[in-house]
Chains A and B, each alone.
Chain A
């Protein structure tokens, strides 16, 4: 304890000293705001690492517009109001040029007013429910039509007509399933049932019993975080496997697969814009660089790849605008296109990405094998036409 406290005091004073010199000339500050502690730390620490890696790479090559990037790292602590206050600190006290951060929709919603009020720029790397297009946020994760709907298409193409929707009880699963239900009935297929479990819930006995009674052919799973571990353990204990009742998941990537235990997941499906196993050259470089820095067995996920790329997107936009001003960068970023670890991407006028969608099947070691992909890139649609007719981004 005492050495620990000494260490923390030392690092505290060090951080204070560093904090004072960070405004030196020839540098530009950016914020990285993720949950480094608390329940979301599981997912967000590695996303923060990926953004940091991109910053380090850019600094090693001379920075942006001749300026070195200085990162101000803040902890959202898995607590949405903390995201609000830390975002406020980054924008009003540190005066960062851009912030990379957020995972849950709740944290994004909590930050949005702060970014709009202070005219900042947030890069948000995670798939989400759409229905939002703030001029101060660049949404690089999948919109519903870039993950949920392609997953449904894939399920229908496999002949699955009776679909069970299972999710954590919060806005993303509820909205994604609202959209999915419209499309499932529109396509003449059937919703076998719909269940939600509180975030972090660990007991799935009743849910599995309901699934059993509903006899679906496939489950579309929007459970978040650790609930997946309990679900798959109890699903397997009830005698199910990928062969008898396949599950398509939207929040299970390579890292979550490791935590669940790859044996439990074998043969199950996931839909993302990125898998670690993608063979393109940019991805091979990214995976090698990340594993060199953070451990050779580190798993790489879709949100990490998005976060890594976000920093490069920001750099490209700054160079195009020849300015760090968030408004100028926001204007310049539209139309920027690059070969990223995700393949070729382009920023659409609504601030989201035009990107490819892949379906993967889980194999040994928690890796996914790509077994299907969209025909070319998919343009982002923040508002689903069937579920929310007449709504568009300005």
Chain B
């Protein structure tokens, strides 16, 4: 990073830390929420920008993290000896077995990491072991997230269905509706985001990170060099999944609810597009693209809801046509060696199967 870039970054960081002192309640909540979401976009940067896997199913891992925390929050808000309200309305008479351990906060927090990691590991293992690549991965991840959303919606007694889990009161003894909570949550989010960014940046700089790029640019050559690309892809996929899960848990705290509507197919695609806008191969681009995109969405969709959809649609097309490496790509074009137009894409004909 250049000296100017570092200075700008420091300025933004200081601004973000001090934001609660000069932002009103709503802008602060909005910013915090968007920062929480941007953790998932770091994951997209890792698996798509660096490893060349376009997953449209990040909502699955985001949802697992969110639901893991939401189950705990719901149990914490339910009086002792009673069932969560939605179970009563659905005729469920005893707490389902998989709900029981979530009464413990440490267990739920652990699950925020473990569930997405396991799911991403399993999905990744199933796909990459069989050398499923390219658009097949996109379509399969999309189908999986649709299956998850359909199951959530159809299992109302267990998951509260399309309503989602809502109406939380306390977390670790902290009143979620208290005066001090929004600021505390904002700083906590900023801290987690900082850790996620630093951690991911470090991982990407290790030889492991270089190998991800190698897998992206030429999977077979990497294999011929004696590495197993599937293992690296699965590892990247797990990292992306865990980041999405953490993001989902934080987002659930910000919003006070989680529902299938938040994690569906549209969520996955939108996430990818904001990352593409910022620059898929750059961590700063991914986070910046998501944050600015979401803020713009909030403003413009309020002022002109009809025009917003045209604008967003046009943006999708333009980003891909005009700046495939996003804004970050435009900014670094002078220095960096030319990057391939699209990660993991080869000539027509051998694209779909890739191997």
Contacts and interface: CB of A to CB of B under 8 A. Distances in A.
Say if the two chains contact directly (CB < 8 Å).
yes
Interface of A: 1, 4-5, 7-8, 11-12, 15-16, 19, 36-37, 74-75, 77, 79-81, 84-86, 88-89, 92-93, 104-106, 109-110, 112-114, 116-117, 129, 131, 169-171, 174-175, 178, 196, 198-199, 388
A111 to B, nearest CB: 9
25 contacts: A8-B306, A11-B303, A11-B307, A12-B307, A36-B305, A77-B301, A79-B261, A79-B262, A80-B162, A81-B259, A81-B261, A81-B262, A85-B255, A92-B24, A109-B164, A109-B166, A110-B163, A112-B166, A117-B177, A169-B153, A170-B162, A170-B163, A171-B89, A178-B89, A388-B89
Interface stretch (B26-34, B46-54, B271-279, B344-352): B26-34
A39 to B, nearest CB: 11
Given A81-B255, A129-B89, A171-B161, A36 B166 contact: no
A7 B304 CA distance: 10
Q: Which of A8, A81, A129, A170 has the most CB of B within 10 A?
A: A81
A12 B304 contact: yes
Interface string B155-186: 01000111110111000000001000000000
Interface in B240-276: 255-257, 259, 261-262
Given A74-B302, A75-B301, A106 B311 contact: no
Contact of A93 (B24, B168, B262, B311): B24
Given A74-B302, A106-B163, A113-B166, A196 B29 contact: no
A158 B287 CA distance: 63
B81 interface: no
B25 interface: yes
Contacts of B27: 93
A8 B166 contact: no
Contacts of A113: 166-168, 177, 256-257
B28 to A, nearest CB: 9
Q: Which of B162, B177, B307 has the most CB of A within 10 A?
A: B162
A12 B300 CA distance: 7
A6 B316 CA distance: 18
Contact of A170 (B153, B167, B300, B311): B153
Given A81-B262, A170-B156, A174-B156, A37 B306 contact: yes
Q: Which 7 A-B pairs have the closest CB atoms?
A: A8-B307, A75-B305, A15-B303, A93-B26, A92-B25, A170-B162, A117-B177
B154 interface: yes
Contacts of A117: 177, 256
A171 B164 CA distance: 10
Given A113-B166, A129-B89, 15 more contacts: A8-B307, A36-B306, A37-B306, A80-B262, A81-B262, A93-B24, A93-B27, A105-B163, A106-B164, A106-B259, A113-B256, A116-B177, A169-B162, A170-B162, A178-B91
A73 to B, nearest CB: 9
B256 A114 contact: yes
A89 B297 CA distance: 14
A3 to B, nearest CB: 11
B210 interface: no
Contacts of B89: 129, 131, 171, 174-175, 178, 388
A4 B310 contact: yes
A31 to B, nearest CB: 11
B88 interface: yes
Contacts of B300: 12
Given A80-B259, A81-B262, A110-B166, A75 B85 contact: no
A92 B26 contact: yes
Contacts of A110: 163-164, 166, 257, 259
Contacts of A77: 301, 305
A116 B154 CA distance: 28
Given A131-B85, A131-B89, A170-B162, A12 B256 contact: no
A106 B307 contact: no
Given A92-B29, A170-B153, A171-B161, A75 B257 contact: no
A169 B161 contact: yes
- The secondary structure that dominates the A interface is helix
A174 B162 CA distance: 12
A178 B300 CA distance: 42
B93 interface: no
Contacts of B259: 80-81, 106, 110
Nearest to B157: A174
A375 B46 CA distance: 66
A106 B261 contact: yes
A198 B153 contact: yes
Contact of A16 (B25, B167, B303): B303
Nearest to B90: A174
B254 to A, nearest CB: 9
B18 interface: no
Contacts of A16: 303
Q: Which of A110, A171, A175 has the most CB of B within 10 A?
A: A110
B153 A75 contact: no
A93 B261 CA distance: 25
A81 B24 contact: no
B309 interface: yes
B150 interface: yes
A88 B177 CA distance: 13
Contacts of B309: 37
Contacts of A37: 305-306, 308-309
Q: Which of A109, A196, A388 has the most CB of B within 10 A?
A: A109
Given A11-B303, A92-B25, A388 B262 contact: no
A394 to B, nearest CB: 14
A348 B236 CA distance: 58
Contact of B162 (A5, A84, A106, A112): A106
Contact of A7 (B166, B255, B307): B307
B314 interface: yes
B41 to A, nearest CB: 17
